[in-house]
Amino acid sequence: MTMQAIHDAINADADGDTIASLPLPDTMRAAVIRKSEVDMFEGMTSRDKDPRQSLHIDDVPLPPLGANEVLIAPMASAINFNTVWTSIFEPLPTFGFLERFAREGELGARHDLDYHIVGSDAAGVVLRVGQGVTRWQPGDRVTVHCNYVDLEGPEGHEDSMLDPTQRIWGFETNFGALADVAMVKANQLMPMPTHLSWEEAASLGLVMATSYRMLVGQNEARMKQGDVVLIWGATGGLGGFATQFVLNGGGIPVCVVSSPEKVALLEELGVEHIIDRKAEGYSFWTDNGEPDYAEYRRFGGRIRELVGEDPDIVFEHPGRATFGASVFVAKKGGTIVTCASTSGFQHSYDNRYLWMNLKDILGSHFANYNEAWAANRLVAKGMIHPILSRTYPLEDVGEAAHQVHHNLHTGKIGILVGASEEGMGIRDHELRARHADDIDHWKHLQ
Ligand code: NDP
């Protein structure tokens, strides 16, 4: 039996019994990085490390299936920045995560291989369920969120992101989404929104749920109606959803981007306050590595000029390059919520502006099942939309990761895995027609 027969059955809308009865092949295509190559970029700058050289499509055995686990056939996936980090082996090779997982016991040891199958987003179909899985069955169409967690101990029962064994699937675990068959925990599955194609549904998970937790959920900044929210990278993966959540929740987004095309895209979405950081030429660091307060003030002044107030919330992820400015411009009593450090992990900010103005810095990371499910529900109801701009076949995963690495993309880049072309998998054509303009909006910016 080949994967083609399984994909044909899925495309023909075969029922669950048929899907369950189709034998699985012994091997499959998978996008991997190889342990033997972790030193391949030694001595090179981050910029020069090229995912096109380190990401391979190899033929590998199918993932194992244990209790409470599910094998799915991803029809599509998407590129996240974590696949960039994995493929350039920064800050450390992800094989270290797999080795640490192996030290926890037998189940973890299955992940410790000399290849790492990457990918943290998927939309696809359930092929097999392990012992103890009752909520899902073969044939179910699902999207996947990447919070991989057991909850065996007490620590994560109020918020699973606090569990000491919490991992990001396809980054800190093996058997990720960029393969013909992927292995997930049953508690990673969510129903696939019926008006979306495979690649659109697959592009939601990681960045959407992360933004939801940072801004909307009960755990972090908890945006209110009327809050002014400064959003860095407002047409990137995280920022594209942050912008929608702010608009949808009655906040006032102030969006920062780096080109006139991105400004135009946001204007068409109804965003009033937009800053083109490149055109403005902000430089928050002097040549000798000191913060440039004049530039902080110029940036804050521009925000006041646009919206008449300082931001209640700053949505942070660029990190070192912007963090000092983010702390400076936040309103007295405001919040800086951060989940990343793309430009550098060592941040510095002037603490006088934090304590004297009673500001808070909140650290946030992905999302729990409830938060991911709540965000997915907003999509299913047509209130939040995918931000997919471009899609590549699995064979071109290296090129897709290269684009994200060099900020050459807008929104999300999708990857077709089982789907042979774009646009497949839509079931509710009426709902689709109602939201087609919003969904296709992002595809205009190639
Ligand atoms: P994207 O590359 O899709 O978007 C990031 C955006 O940030 C870009 O579009 C760019 O916008 C802007 N940007 C990049 N560098 C700078 C800079 N030096 N100064 C100002 N703006 C900058 O990435 P994602 O949104 O998917 O992810 C962003 C980061 O968040 C990554 O580091 C990722 O690993 C991390 N992340 C963390 C998560 C977590 O759970 N902790 C979850 C998801 C992502 P423009 O050029 O238009 O200004």
Which pair of structure tokens corresponds to residue 274?
Answer: 């937009």
Confidence band, pLDDT 50/70/90 cuts, at residue 111 = very high
Per-residue pLDDT tens digits for 153-195: 999 999 999 999 999 999 999 999 999 999 999 999 999 999 9
Residue 1's pLDDT is: 61
CA of 341 to the centre of ligand 1 (A): 8
Burial classification of residue 1, based on how many CB atoms lie within 10 Å of its CB (0-12 exposed, 13-18 middle, 19 or more buried): exposed
Confidence band, pLDDT 50/70/90 cuts, at residue 74 = very high
Average pLDDT over residues 326-351: 97
Residue 68 has pLDDT above 80, yes or no: yes
Rounded to a whole number, what is the distance in angstroms from the first to the last CA of the chain? 37
Which pair of structure tokens corresponds to residue 328?
Answer: 């400076």
Per DSSP bridges, beta strands 167-168 and 147-148 are antiparallel
pTM of the complete model: 0.97
Residue 100 has pLDDT above 70, yes or no: yes
Nearest residue (CA) to ligand 1, atom 26? 237
CA of 82 to the centre of ligand 1 (A): 11
Per DSSP bridges, beta strands 69-78 and 412-416 are antiparallel
Q: Output DSSP code: residue 24.
A: P
CA of 66 to the centre of ligand 1 (A): 35
Residue 145 has pLDDT above 90, yes or no: yes
Residue 443's pLDDT is: 85
Task: Give, in order, the Cα–Cα distances in Å from 285 to each of 54, 289, 294, 407, 419.
Answer: 33, 6, 10, 21, 46
DSSP 204-260: THHHHHHHHHHHTSSSS----TT-EEEETTTTSHHHHHHHHHHHHTT-EEEEEESSH
Report the chain's mean pLDDT, rounded to a whole number: 97
Task: Give, in order, the Cα–Cα distances in Å from 255 to each of 154, 263, 304, 365.
Answer: 39, 9, 13, 21
Nearest residue (CA) to ligand 1, atom 6? 233
Residue 2 has pLDDT above 90, yes or no: no
Neighbours of 12 (CB within 10 A): 8
What residues does ligand 1 touch, defined as CB less than 6 Å away? 80-82, 206-207, 210, 232-233, 235-239, 256-258, 262, 277, 317-318, 321-322, 339-340, 342-343, 365-366, 404, 407
Cβ proximity of 31 and 397 under 8 Å: yes
| Measured distance CA(393)–CA(77) in Å, rounded | 10
Residue 179's pLDDT is: 98
CA of 59 to the centre of ligand 1 (A): 32
Per-residue pLDDT tens digits for 16-33: 999 999 999 999 999 999
| Measured distance CA(343)–CA(298) in Å, rounded | 21
Burial code of 56-89, b = ≥16 C-beta within 10 A, e = fewer? ebeebebbebeeebbbbbbbbbbbbbbbbbbbbb
19: amino acid identity, one letter: I
Cβ proximity of 63 and 175 under 8 Å: yes
| Measured distance CA(169)–CA(334) in Å, rounded | 33
Measured from the CA of 411, which atom of ligand 1 is nearest? 3
Nearest residue (CA) to ligand 1, atom 47? 257
Per-residue pLDDT tens digits for 75-98: 999 999 999 999 999 999 999 999
CA of 30 to the centre of ligand 1 (A): 26
| Measured distance CA(78)–CA(199) in Å, rounded | 7
Cβ proximity of 205 and 182 under 8 Å: no
Per-residue pLDDT tens digits for 360-385: 999 999 999 999 999 999 999 999 99
What is the best residue among 402, 407, 408, 410 to mutate for testing ligand 1's pocket, by most ligand atoms within 8 Å of CB?
407
Nearest residue (CA) to ligand 1, atom 1? 236
146: amino acid identity, one letter: C
Residue 446's pLDDT is: 53
Average pLDDT over residues 349-356: 97
- CB neighbours of 419 closer than 8 A, spacing ≥ 6? 7, 75, 76, 197, 198, 199, 425
DSSP 263-321: HHHHHHHT--EEEEHHHHT---B-TTS-B-HHHHHHHHHHHHHHHSS--SEEEE-SGGG
CA of 107 to the centre of ligand 1 (A): 33
Nearest residue (CA) to ligand 1, atom 48? 257
Per-residue pLDDT tens digits for 383-414: 999 999 999 999 999 999 999 999 999 999 99
